[in-house]
Amino acid sequence: MRGTRQTILFVHPSDELYGSDRCLLDIVTGLPERFRAVVVLPTDLEYSGALSHELEAAGATVERVDMLVLRRALLRPGKLPVLLKRLVVGTVRLARLIRREDAVLVHSNTVAVLCGASAAAVTRVPHLWHVHEHIGDEPLPFKALVRTFLTLLPGRIVANSRSVARAVVGGSRQRLRRIQVVENSVDPDIRPVDRSRPTDNRPVVIGVVGRLAPRKGTAEALEAAALLAGRGACFALRFAGDAPPGQEALQASYEEQVVALGLSDYVTFAGQVDDVPSFLAACDILLLPSQRPEPFGLVVIEGMASGLPVVATLNGGGSDEILDHGITGLYCGRDPLAIAAALERLVADRALRKDLGSAAAVVAARRYARTRYQRDFVRIYECLMRVSG
């Protein structure tokens, strides 16, 4: 069977089930039978293996390679020799893998895996950059490095939002000619939930899905919750997600903040949640409190698909492009006062929650279909292979 199928090599920086991980899984599971997926994951950090488990269950081959992954700890002047060494080593190993698997195309899923592009260039295999990062407010050295690689190394560039595309292009006509936007898709298992159950004496559940991290606004969400509690609102705040690998102390600091704010009876940390549809089904409101530009905001469209009213901060990223304020959700400022005001409005108004959630579900089903997303990438692959052939 392998001999009759074309192999696509996917290079990815993590083994989890967050935004870009789930996008990769969506693409791999939607490949036509004529394609075979080999997914390369890094060895520099320990992960739970959540993504690799799902990939293997879907029939993909998973390889683990010691390669460069652009992480913040490496973006220091003293780390440049280490960065270059890992880039060379990773490129050589991926080039060998490309030849061994007779790959017809390399898909680098995020700009953090530079070795995929360099190995594709060495082996003269078509390459696709799939950008999930918003580099607009990143430090200048990181921004310059990414843009340089995107310019010098060949390949089509796909951004997951218009905001990400603008940040990638940065005034370069060369990058502008090579880029296109493919918005993320929503899990078809997420469907509108009947939330007409009685709410007397039951707290309104506010869900937050994503990393526990400063850029995601965890602290601001907790401060907003303290304001709500002080105003007598009846609610529960539930977080689904854990701290980034190597930053586990962050969760402890947020748990301490909960105690300091007197929110122990209001806040729950559920850790990483594999069953996102069930988590969303148990919520009444979804909150995205991000403090820095979101590349896309996958959880926003998942909340919409579940029929949830979404409150999202205006953070300058792709999530600013999704909601129709006052119709499919509410936008607010990034500070705790603004977040609390938007949440208070929804906590107090059940009819508004229902109206926003119903409208959001219709938009999510029409605009973010999984089949559209998978079809778009297959077309891109076929186009790249035709051009290279």
Structure tokens at 161: 């939002």
Residues in CB range of 17: below 8 A, 6 or more apart:
25, 50, 51, 54, 272, 274
Contact 315, 334 (CB under 8 A): yes
Structure tokens at 71: 């992480």
Alpha-helical segments (H) within 231-369: 249-260, 276-281, 298-305, 336-348, 350-367
Contact 274, 17 (CB under 8 A): yes
State whether residue 153 is helix, strand or coil: coil
Partners of 269 in the β-ladder: 239
Contact 243, 216 (CB under 8 A): no
How far apart are alpha carbons 336 and 323 in whole angstroms? 20
Domain boundaries, the chain: 2-185+369-388, 204-367
Quickly count: other Cβ atoms within 10 Å of residue 236's Cβ. 18
How far apart are alpha carbons 86 and 108 in whole angstroms? 17
Partners of 106 in the β-ladder: 9, 127
Residues in CB range of 253: below 8 A, 6 or more apart:
none
- What's the Cα-to-Cα distance from 124 to each of 83, 118, 322, 380, 384, rounded to whole Å? 23, 10, 38, 18, 12
Residue showing tokens 């999530």: 319
| pLDDT score, position 197 | 67
Pairing mode, if any, of strands 310-313 and 204-209? Answer: unpaired
Structure tokens at 228: 């709500």
2-185+369-388 maps to CATH 3.40.50.2000? yes
From the CA atom positions of the chain, what is the Rg in Å? 21
How far apart are alpha carbons 118 and 94 in whole angstroms? 9
How far apart are alpha carbons 197 and 192 in whole angstroms? 14
| pLDDT score, position 1 | 44
- What backbone torsions phi and psi does residue 274 show, to the nearest 5 degrees? -75, -35
Instruction: Pick the closest to residue 44 from 77, 70, 7, 6 (CA basis).
Output: 70
User: Comparing 2-185+369-388 with 204-367, is the CATH topology the same?
Assistant: yes
Partners of 311 in the β-ladder: 287, 330
204-367 maps to CATH 3.30.950.10? no
| pLDDT score, position 268 | 96
- What backbone torsions phi and psi does residue 253 show, to the nearest 5 degrees? -65, -35
Angle, CA of 364, 370 and 372, to the nearest 5°: 95
Q: Which residues of the chain have pLDDT under 70?
A: 1-3, 75, 197-200, 388-389
pLDDT digits (tens, 9 = 90+) for 30-68: 999 999 999 999 998 888 899 999 999 999 999 999 999
How far apart are alpha carbons 175 and 166 in whole angstroms? 10
Residues in CB range of 81: below 8 A, 6 or more apart:
none
| pLDDT score, position 225 | 98
State whether residue 9 is helix, strand or coil: strand
